[in-house]
Structure 1
Amino acid sequence: MRTLLLTLSAVLLSSLLGGCGALAFPCRATSAMIKIVPLVGHAAAIPTDACAAVIDP
């Protein structure tokens, strides 16, 4: 029974991370916070946008 639960939880976790969207979330959240800064926010967020694009195209 325990091995079945471990197997099911591993399959569920891998399906959630399959698109890598969860791994790109920190880059996207940081980018969104940087973009709030007036005038320079969008230019300063380019590296974090690139980070997210590499992780989750």
Structure 2
Amino acid sequence: MPEIKRQHGKQLFLITNTKQNCAFYRKNKFQQFSHKIHLLNRQPLENWSFVRTLS
């Protein structure tokens, strides 16, 4: 994140399809803004989207 700030970035967006990663992102001050379930070869594939505003 220091590099993103150095480049004057204001927000960082992440997408994961692993539920285990969600707890890690929340612990590191990311806010979940989307949760979707897609079908891939008739199998469910979950996606969670997160954002963190950098100060």
Query: Same fold judged by TM-score > 0.5?
Result: no
Q: Under TM normalisation by the shorter chain, which class is it? A: under 0.3
Name which one, 1 or 2, has greater alpha-carbon Rg: 1
TM-score by length of 2: 0.28
User: Greater share of strand residues, 1 or 2?
Assistant: 2
TM-score by length of 1: 0.27
